[in-house]
Amino acid sequence: MRVIVISDTHGSIHSLNQIIENNKNADAFIHLGDGEYEWDKMCSSITDKNELDKYHYVKGNCDYNDTYPLYKIIPIAGHRIFATHGHRYSVKYSLDVLLDTAKRKECDIVLYGHTHVQQQTYQNGIYVMNPGSAALPRDEKGRSYGWIDITPNGIITNTVPLD
């Protein structure tokens, strides 16, 4: 099962479309916020409404649509993914609050954005990923997104350059 993880597209429809086009066979897409305009536009163009179930979005600090949640727990292939933008969990300073919250909610995968910096780690039995920014990176690695492969043999996370 492949999950595509996107964050911080900040109006870049081109970046979002590039990621979607390059991963048409993915089982799920999760956008971690700060991209509601392009996300709404992309979702409104999907003709098969049954396909919408595989698209997930959480609200970022630059999003204004109150219909999106601040976090989402997504059950996939026997795992529980805690997806959030991260701004309400002090992720610029530490992952402690985020990891404590995920642990309390019995999630074993945590996805966050907000910092625009790629990160992958495994801490206290939890896979943690920040895919970086698909539009405005704040690290030397460039624009990026992530993927997670969930297999019977385990979980693999990876970040992918867009440049």
Q: 106-157: per-residue pLDDT in tens? A: 999 999 999 999 999 999 999 999 999 999 999 999 999 999 999 999 999 9
pLDDT of 100 reads 97
pLDDT at 14 over 90: yes
CA distance 98 to 112: 9
Paired sense of beta strands 126-131 and 144-151, if any: unpaired
What single-letter DSSP state applies at residue 13?
H
pLDDT of 163 reads 79
CA distance 137 to 130: 12
CATH superfamily of 2-161: Metallo-dependent phosphatases (3.60.21.10)
pTM of whole model > 0.75?
yes
Q: Rounded to the nearest 5°, which phi and psi values hold at 50?
A: -65, -25
Q: Which one, of 8, 161, 11, 146, lies nearest residue 81 by Cα?
A: 146
pLDDT of 19 reads 97
Q: 68-121: per-residue pLDDT in tens? A: 999 999 999 999 999 999 999 999 999 999 999 999 999 999 999 999 999 999
Q: Which one, of 31, 55, 26, lies nearest residue 134 by Cα?
A: 31
Mean pLDDT of the chain: 96
The SS3 of residue 90 is coil
- Answer yes or no: are the C-beta atoms of 111 and 82 closer than 8 Å: yes
Angle 35-38-41 from CA coordinates, rounded to 5°: 140
pLDDT of 110 reads 98
CA distance 39 to 57: 8
What integer is the mean pLDDT of 13-37? 96
The number of helix segments (H) and strand segments (E) in the chain equals: 3, 10
pLDDT of 16 reads 97
